[in-house]
Structure 1
Amino acid sequence: MKKWVLMSLSALAVVALISGCQKKTSNSDKESVDQATRSSTKAQSSRKQTGSSVGKQRATPVKTKQSSPFKQIVAQTMGRLKGQNAVYVQPVGSAAYQWHVKSQKAASDIKLFILATVYQQVQTGKFNLTATYTLKDSDKVGGTGSLQGMAAGTRLTNQELLKYMMTVSDNTATNVVIRKVGGFDAVNQEIKRLGATQTVLQRKMMDQKSLAAGKDNMTSARDLGQLLVKLWQHQLVSKSADTAMLKLMAANTNHSKLPKLLPSDRQIYNKTGEFDTYGVENDAAIFVKGKRAVIVVALSQGGTLAEQVAAMNQLGKQVDAVVFK
Structure 2
Amino acid sequence: MSDNLQNQIEQILTGSDFSYGLLVQSGDQTLVAHNADDQFPSASLIKLGVLNAVLDQQLDLEQEVTVDPDKFVGGAGVLQLLSQTKWRLKDLLALMISVSDNAASNFVISQVGMDNIQQYLKKQGFKETLLQRYLMDGHALAMGLDNYTSASDSIRLLKMALDHGQPVANWFKNQQFRGKLPANFDESGVDIAVYNKTGEGNLVDHDVAKFVYSNHSVYVALLTSGSLNRMQTLYKFNQVGQVIADWLENQG
Does the TM-score normalized on the shorter chain lie above 0.5?
yes
Question: What's the RMSD between the two structures over aligned residues?
Answer: 1.7
Q: State the 1:309 CA deviation.
A: 0.8
CA contact (8 A) 1:74 1:87 kept: no
Are residue 114 (structure 1) and residue 89 (structure 2) matched? no
1:95 alignment partner, one of 30, 48, 67: 30
Q: How many residues align?
A: 245
Matches of 1:256 and 1:91, distance apart in 2: 23
Are residue 261 (structure 1) and residue 192 (structure 2) matched? no
Q: State the 1:242 CA deviation.
A: 4.2
Are residue 305 (structure 1) and residue 230 (structure 2) matched? yes
Matches of 2:23 and 2:111, distance apart in 1: 31
Structure 1: unaligned runs, 5 residues or longer: 1-64, 235-240
1:165 alignment partner, SS class:
helix
Distance 1:229 1:95, change over 3 A: farther
Q: State the 1:154 CA deviation.
A: 2.2
Paired AA for residue 206 in structure 1 = M
User: Normalised by the size of structure 1, how large is the TM-score?
Assistant: 0.71
Distance 1:72 1:258, change over 3 A: same
Q: State the 1:230 CA deviation.
A: 4.5
Written as runs of structure 1 = structure 2, the 5 A alignment for 1:275-290 is 275=201, 278-290=202-214
User: 2:219 maps to what in 1?
Assistant: 295
User: 2:64 maps to what in 1?
Assistant: 132
Written as runs of structure 1 = structure 2, the 5 A alignment for 1:43-192 is 66=2, 68-101=3-36, 102-122=38-58, 127-151=59-83, 154-183=85-114, 185-192=115-122
Structure 2: unaligned runs, 5 residues or longer: none
Between Structure 1 and Structure 2, which shows a larger proportion of strand residues? 2
CA contact (8 A) 2:52 2:160 kept: no
User: 2:199 maps to what in 1?
Assistant: 273
> Residue deviations 1:114-142, cap 9 Å, x none?
110110122xxxx2111222221222001
Matches of 1:98 and 1:242, distance apart in 2: 28
CA contact (8 A) 1:280 1:301 kept: yes
Between Structure 1 and Structure 2, which shows a larger proportion of helix residues? 1
Distance 1:230 1:79, change over 3 A: farther
**Largest Rg, 1 or 2:** 1
> Residue deviations 1:99-158, cap 9 Å, x none?
023001110011011110110122xxxx2111222221222001111112233x622111
> Residue deviations 1:47-101, cap 9 Å, x none?
xxxxxxxxxxxxxxxxxx62x2232122222333212211110012323421023
Distance 1:231 1:144, change over 3 A: closer
User: 2:128 maps to what in 1?
Assistant: 198
Paired AA for residue 307 in structure 1 = Q
2:30 alignment partner, SS class:
coil
